[in-house]
Chains A and B, each alone.
Chain A
């Protein structure tokens, strides 16, 4: 299994441009998550999904959109990129809720995004 894969690894955007960060998992996990990690800071949840067709906002959803048309894929869309969105973005997945049944989250390698 490849686990959780993310593309691209690095990207530089100009202010106002848009892009989609891709995330795919091959473990048949129901739950998928998008986090951002700013330098020296903890992980912040952007959006998450508990299954295909179901998405919900996390702590910091403004400026982002997601969709979950299949179990495997959970793309994150940035519209009108701003310097405040410069961060490292991690996608993760888990079989079920990480709290109630204690399923661990598997993380992708991250995408380093710079907006200038």
Chain B
């Protein structure tokens, strides 16, 4: 059974710092991995999608990597800003069994960037 873990659960950094959020998963049979952002009281916004054949994706100050063999992904945020404060969730898309196509979510990392 696929499980997704995000460490740390919460992170507080000063503005301008570069930071890394971690995501690990137990089964490498995935289509892809997706990173989301959720602001308080809001829905989830897709940030980056990495296909299983890819190693990384970049969008602006965000860079996501994927090591499928080790079951790990990282989200790198460069030059953090207070507006980056949110909860970041990763999810893997299952590529096996009766739940093929399903997404399994981690519990998220709550990021706070202090001015």
Do A and B come from the same complex? no
